[in-house]
Structures are given as C-alpha cells and as structure tokens.
Amino acid sequence: MLDHRVGSLTGLLLPLADRYLLLPNIAIAELIGWQRGDPSSDSPPWHLRQITWRDHELPLISFEAACGNPIVIGDRARIVVLNTLGGDPHLKFIAMVVQGIPRSYRLDSQLSFVDVPLSPLERAAVQVGDHVAKIPDLLALEKLVRGG
C-alpha cells in the first residue's frame, strides 16, 4: 500500500538585518562569501551592484532595502545565490545579502502561521523554532529585479 503522508521539507532560515526569511533548500543554489565592490550608482537603492558567480553576472540585492528599509552590510555578511522560478533565460539566479550563515530546519505540517505585518515581497510569516520567519514572494522579487 502506498504511504500518502506528507514528508517533511528541509528549509533554510536566512538571517537578515531586520528579519529572518525561510526558503526551501532547493531555492538556494549556493552560499558564498561577501564580495567587496563599488555600489551601483544608477540603480534602485535595493540593487547594490552586479557580482560574478560561476561565470554569471548576477544582480546583488538587499531584501531589506527592497522592502523600504535601510541597507545593512554587517561584519558577518554573506551572499546567498537564489535559483529563479520565472523561466527568464536572462535571469537564472539572483544574489541576496544575508547577515550570517543560514541554518537548516526540518519543516513539517505543524508549521504555525503568525499574524504580523508583511511587506509586498512577503507571502506569509511562520514560527520556526524561536524565530518568526517571513516567506518571501520569489516571483515578485524576480519581477522587481527585471524592472517589472
């Protein structure tokens, strides 16, 4: 007989300056070290600059700034390379600043939603361990990066 129970999913809790984001492991291509560089002068404030990763030029963004908050680059800053979902052949990855090393969590059907204010780039908030984590709207983030 087939087992129809929903298995658990492994997610990563990404520490940002003012919140945590929760993403499934599959959304993240790689965690890389911080890369210094000159800020982009003619781009929106959330678009920090372009970076090079595995022979790709990627937009480096600040999720906090895209939500209207200040940009923070702390001493423990890292870059998370996200896989895109929208199918745009010119935007296969997006790089995002995080403030430390993401932590892996086993997620299950017992996740509880939390009623907190959300930005337009956030779909929901959930309780993960001791933290309230926001679920980002990755398609909306891609649309923002593409300029749409």
Tracing tokens 């932590």 back to the chain, one arrives at 103
pLDDT in tens, 66-107: 999 999 899 999 999 999 988 888 899 999 999 999 999 888
Q: Which residue has the higher pLDDT, 9 or 53?
A: 53
DSSP 8-state symbol, 16: -
Residue 3 lies in a domain: no
In a domain? residue 129: no
Residue 31 sits in which domain range?
A: 12-105
What's the number of domains the chain is made of? 1
The 3-state DSSP class for residue 11 equals: strand
- Say what the pLDDT of residue 110 is: 67
Contact assessment for residue 81 and residue 32, using Cβ atoms and an 8 Å cutoff: yes
- Burial of 96: CB neighbours in 10 Å, binned 0-12, 13-18, 19+: buried
84 assigned to some structural domain: yes
Tokens of 48: 């920090």
CATH number at residue 67: 2.40.50.180
Q: Average pLDDT of 35-54?
A: 88
